[in-house]
Amino acid sequence: MDKKTKIKETRSFVLMVLSAVVSAVGLWVFVYPSDFAPSGVDGIATMLQYLTNVNAGIFTFALNLPLLIAAWFILKKRYVIYTIAYTVLTSLLLLVLEAVDFYQYVTSTDRLIPAIFGGVAQGCTGLMLKIGASAGGVDVMACMVQKKMPHKNVESVIAFLSFVIVGVSYFVFWDLNSILLSAVEIFVCQKVTELILRDTRNAVEFKIVTDNPKEIGDEILYEMRKGATIVDGRGLFTEDGKTVIFCVVSYRQIPEFLSLVAKYEGTFVYYSDVMGVRGNFDWRKEDEGEEDIQKREEKLKGANKQ
């Protein structure tokens, strides 16, 4: 294992531990005292704990064990190893929190707070997805389903199983509020997970349909120091030839980019958020040839005259 791989695996291990700690504390402090079931296997374990008064950590491990054994023969080994480690650590932490009589947030007036913060804690399991693993339970089931039936959508399988579990919880707690609190917890959990999975390098993708690809391309390259991709296109109604330019810029560069495009007639632009960015366009002055330098200087002079 080379140094880069060791660093990556160390980071993944730390994130796995952090995810397990936050999840276990969130379940113990906010979810269990509030009589509602979160989504997935954690929801089943919560209901079983409510019915039997046996620590949910035992049920969490017992429910995940057969799934993970099956996953070992179907899914990638690294995925399963990290998921097993997360499951074992979470289960042990729940037992420890009970043994030390750790603090629990108990309220009879505003049960919405436990649902929100329970969702935040559970959403931190997005760290597991970020390292190429999962928090077990329905995630593992859905991945195995997709492995065998690639046409199935993992998200739809997870959503269906989660809604079934939440629906069953009504017959455990016999309280409609428990269903509503579960819905809030699931919503918050999904939003936190999405936030974690988003790349920290916020960016916007511009798509420019134009009759002036050369001029706009030069400004993107030499003024904004950005890379871009150019493809040929054709208008559906007019059937005239068009050029489409794809370019990714940071949020702070949006006004500058829009001002650039506005100077050219026959240009249409639309832009949208980018989930993440990988790779770099690294402008290095020493890489420029004489023609590039001359071209850039001429372009800058022209811009100054305007």
Domain count for the chain, please give it: 2
Whether 34 contacts 44, CB under 8 Å: no
Are 148 and 122 members of one domain?
yes
pTM of the model: 0.72
> Using one digit for the tens of pLDDT, what is the confidence trace for 185-203?
988 988 888 888 776 556 7
Residue 205 contacts residue 271 (beta carbons within 8 Å): yes
pLDDT above 90 covers what percent of the chain? 29
Structural domain range at position 261: 203-305
Higher pLDDT, 48 or 147: 48
As a whole number of angstroms, the distance between CA 197 and CA 93 comes to 25
The answer to whether residue 303 scores a pLDDT higher than 50 is no
Question: Where residue 240 sits, what CATH number does that domain have?
Answer: 3.30.70.120
Query: Which of 179, 197, 215 marks a domain boundary?
Result: 197
At residue 249, the pLDDT reads 83
Task: Indicate if 8 and 72 belong to the same structural domain.
Answer: yes
pLDDT in tens, 88-130: 999 999 999 999 999 999 877 778 899 999 999 998 988 888 8
Please, which residues have CB within 8 angstroms of residue 35's CB and are 6 or more apart in sequence?
A: 50, 173, 175, 178
Report the range of poorest mean pLDDT among 164-168, 239-243, 278-282. 278-282
At 155 the pLDDT is 66
* pLDDT for res 286: 47
- Cα dihedral 175, 176, 180, 186, rounded to 10, equals 60
What is the predicted pLDDT for the residue at 302? 57
Residues 42 and 91 occupy one common structural domain? yes
Instruction: Let me know whether 29 and 121 are in one domain.
Output: yes
Q: Same domain, yes or no, for 26 and 123?
A: yes
pLDDT, residue 30, reads 93
pLDDT at 150: 64
**Among 197, 232, 264, which residue terminates a domain?**
197
Query: What is the amino acid identity at position 71?
Result: A
Which of 197, 228, 252 is the last residue in one of the domains?
197
Cβ(243)–Cβ(213) below 8 Å:
yes
Confidence at 223, pLDDT banded by 50, 70, 90: confident
Instruction: Give the other-Cβ count within 10 Å of 238's Cβ.
Output: 8
| Same domain (yes/no): 129, 76 | yes
| 52 shares its domain with 169 | yes
Do the Cβ atoms of 33 and 176 come closer than 8 Å? no
Higher pLDDT, 192 or 285: 192
**Is 167 or 202 the better-scoring residue by pLDDT?**
167
Helices (H), the chain: 3-26, 40-52, 56-72, 77-99, 112-123, 126-130, 138-148, 154-173, 176-197, 213-218, 254-262, 290-305
Instruction: Say what the pLDDT of residue 295 is.
Output: 60
Q: Mark whether 10 and 90 lie in a shared domain.
A: yes
Q: Closest Cα partner for 199 from 304, 274, 287, 276?
A: 276
- Which residue type sits at 49? Q
Quick one: average pLDDT of 29-53?
91
Residues 33 and 7 in one domain: yes
